[in-house]
Structure 1
Amino acid sequence: MRFDLSIINGKTVFDIVRAHRAECIRIVREAYLAHADGQSVNPDSYFLRFPDKPDCRIIALPAYLGKNFDVAGLKWIASYPANIQRGFPRASAVLVLNSYETGYPFAILESSIISAARTAASAALAAHWLNGQSRRARSLGIVGNGFIARYVYDFLVDTGWEIEDVRLYDRSPLESEKFRETACRLERHRAVTVVADAAQLVRACDLILFATVASTPHV
């Protein structure tokens, strides 16, 4: 028996996710159904915190998923909010996958992209079912215009959602403007508007995405 170990970098992960968004949603759906059938082991997460950096943490998340997956693994994900001011993403992560049969690790993957894609696929899946299995929205409101919001927006648009208007709110209006100019596909919408108040956004939209790491609620 061979015990090959593959190391998969971020660019490869990004290209695969971008080319297979609908498949990502299908896999996330199957994982939720396996969990609902009792075919998963999902222990507590373990938090590594630092006395001199109270807003930072690194989290270990072990899990096993059975049914058609039969794989165990560990996600090791760091959250350093100050990274945003340094010009790079808040989160970084690695994923280790182990064979259920032998326990041997067979893959190590860059996982901040996988984590974002899982979050986005879950959001798109929920939106589809909560919206009566329709992929049409009059107005999408996005509260928190960062990395995760970009992924959710891309998953919605790339899986056939028709969205007339988009409204953006962030505590930093510059982030909203940047999101509008660099993430939104303006030709796909009648209007994309930056709003100054989250409550105004909530009242105006029929589909709302919260993608923040706020310690106190926006609404």
Structure 2
Amino acid sequence: MSASTRIDFLYLSEPDMIRAGVTDMPACVDTMEEMFGLLWRGDYRMAGANNDSHGAMIMFPENSPFPTMPKPTPDRRLMAMPAYLGGRFCTAGVKWYGSNIANREKGLPRSILMFTLSDADTGAPLAHMSANLLSAYRTGAIPGVGARHLARKDARVIGLSGPGVMGRTTVSAFLAVCPHIDTLKLKGRGQQNIDNFISWLAVTWPQVKNVQVVDSYEQVVRGSDIVTYCCSNPVGAPSTYPPVKREWVKPGAFLAMPSACTIDAGMEQPDVRKVLDNTGLYEAWFDESPKPAHVTIPIIGVHFMDMVAEGRLPAGQLEDIGQIVLGEAPGRRNDDEIILMSVGGMPVEDVAWGTVLYRRALEMGIGVKLNLWDTPALR
């Protein structure tokens, strides 16, 4: 007797995703920690020749003979990010990433994202879901995994540049894993964004009693136990990327950088531990980019790859958070060491959190079931 050829899949709108728990940051941090263990073991695949590529992006020319072709304006992205993740997930998926900074003039988010989750065996769709919150929370959770293992246990002060969506989710992850935090230093570009962030923080994380608005990167970093830059920045000149200088950094600080960043010679020294979310991701970025790669990919881990290529950093000094998560490398070794973690963002993260939310939605009866076909017209 042949199996049924009918294929149904679940559509999850943004309100459905919220009901399924996409904003459950503690659970998201736990899921990302589990995902990192699978990465270190090798039970995953992404795109590209080394199976570690961030994704495939459509590139638009500066001058096109076609008047309707999009221009390569800041934050213009049309990008597919596919991945497979094993373990208890054993699913595949792809995030479609559309981004244009001019969206804000239309009252839309800069990025509009959708994620399709598939059966890894047949390729049949399991779910098609709104992915703005999915992406935002999995991105913020990664620094949280780092802080769980690499921040001081008595960390009290966060220094944040960039009070946007990424700033909110990253701070949420820090607060989910560091129970003693009570102070936040905040640098932003506009008063409205700063005020909105402070209002959100007061409602969402009332244990943070002391918020200090500062106006320089130095003030963000000085005296902070945990530092993160979550601000957008033009790409192309590392000298314009938000800086970190060694003289600013408190002994024992943990720095997690999911956006553009540059460091001085002091931060390049071997006594500053350099941790990556996945070394293969940065190797893929380096291979795919003109050199020096940090010019076009502003994430600090890409700068580490440039340093390795130039002979200024032994590759063996780079560590993977997955190895630390599994206990195969030490977490924080003492209260004074400075640890800098690069956060690049990977589609395996979307697969992990998307799978958890899809299974929750099934259990809770959330979403709309859609039919692909009863019997395929072609086979």
**Correspondence for 2:148:** 128
Residues 1:218 and 2:233 are matched in the alignment: no
The alpha carbon displacement at 1:8 in A equals 0.6
Match of 2:207 among 188, 193, 205: 188
Residues 1:197 and 2:216 are matched in the alignment: yes
Range 115-124 or range 187-196, more displaced = 187-196
Range 115-124 or range 47-56, more displaced = 47-56
Q: What is the rounded CA distance, in whole Å, between the counterparts of 2:218 and 2:106 in structure 1?
A: 30
Q: TM-score, normalised by structure 2?
A: 0.53
The alpha carbon displacement at 1:150 in A equals 1.1
Contact 2:147 2:177 in 1 (8 A): no
Per-residue CA deviation, residues 142-200 of structure 1 (Å, 9 max, x unaligned), is 11110111112233334563212111002334322321123344741231111111111
Unpaired runs of at least 5, structure 2: 48-52, 62-70, 235-239, 244-379
| Structure 1 residues 79-158: aligned runs within 5 Å | 79-132=99-152, 134=153, 136-158=154-176
Q: What is the rounded CA distance, in whole Å, between the counterparts of 1:128 and 1:160 in structure 2?
A: 7
Q: Secondary structure at the match of 2:8?
A: coil
Q: What is the rounded CA distance, in whole Å, between the counterparts of 1:85 and 1:195 in structure 2?
A: 28
Change (3 A) 1:159 1:203: closer
Contact 1:137 1:164 in 2 (8 A): no
| Structure 1 residues 172-187: aligned runs within 5 Å | 172-185=190-203, 187=206
Q: Secondary structure at the match of 1:26?
A: helix
The alpha carbon displacement at 1:121 in A equals 1.2
Q: What is the rounded CA distance, in whole Å, between the counterparts of 1:158 and 1:205 in structure 2?
A: 18
Range 88-97 or range 107-116, more displaced = 88-97
Change (3 A) 1:17 1:192: same
More strand by proportion, 1 or 2?
A: 1
Q: Secondary structure at the match of 2:192?
A: helix
**Correspondence for 2:28:** 24
Per-residue CA deviation, residues 85-133 of structure 1 (Å, 9 max, x unaligned), is 544422210011110121111110111111111111111111111114x
Change (3 A) 1:84 1:130: farther
Structure with bigger RCO (C-alpha 8 Å, 6+ apart): 2
Q: Secondary structure at the match of 1:74?
A: strand
Contact 2:73 2:100 in 1 (8 A): no
Contact 1:50 1:57 in 2 (8 A): no
Change (3 A) 1:9 1:171: same
Bigger-Rg structure (1/2) = 2
Match of 2:56 among 23, 30, 46: 46
Q: Secondary structure at the match of 1:196?
A: coil
The alpha carbon displacement at 1:48 in A equals 1.9
Contact 2:45 2:83 in 1 (8 A): yes
The number of residues matched between the two structures is: 216
Contact 1:143 1:198 in 2 (8 A): yes
Q: What is the rounded CA distance, in whole Å, between the counterparts of 1:154 and 1:89 in structure 2?
A: 20
Over the matched positions of the two proteins, sequence identity in percent amounts to: 26
Q: What is the rounded CA distance, in whole Å, between the counterparts of 2:32 and 2:45 in structure 1?
A: 16
Change (3 A) 1:206 1:188: same
Range 39-48 or range 169-178, more displaced = 169-178
Q: Secondary structure at the match of 1:101?
A: coil
**Correspondence for 2:87:** 67
Q: Secondary structure at the match of 1:82?
A: helix
Q: Secondary structure at the match of 2:116?
A: strand
Contact 1:47 1:59 in 2 (8 A): yes
**Correspondence for 1:78:** 98
Change (3 A) 1:162 1:89: farther
Cα RMSD between the aligned structures? 2.0
| 1:172 aligned partner, one-letter code | G
Q: What is the rounded CA distance, in whole Å, between the counterparts of 1:184 and 1:57 in structure 2?
A: 34
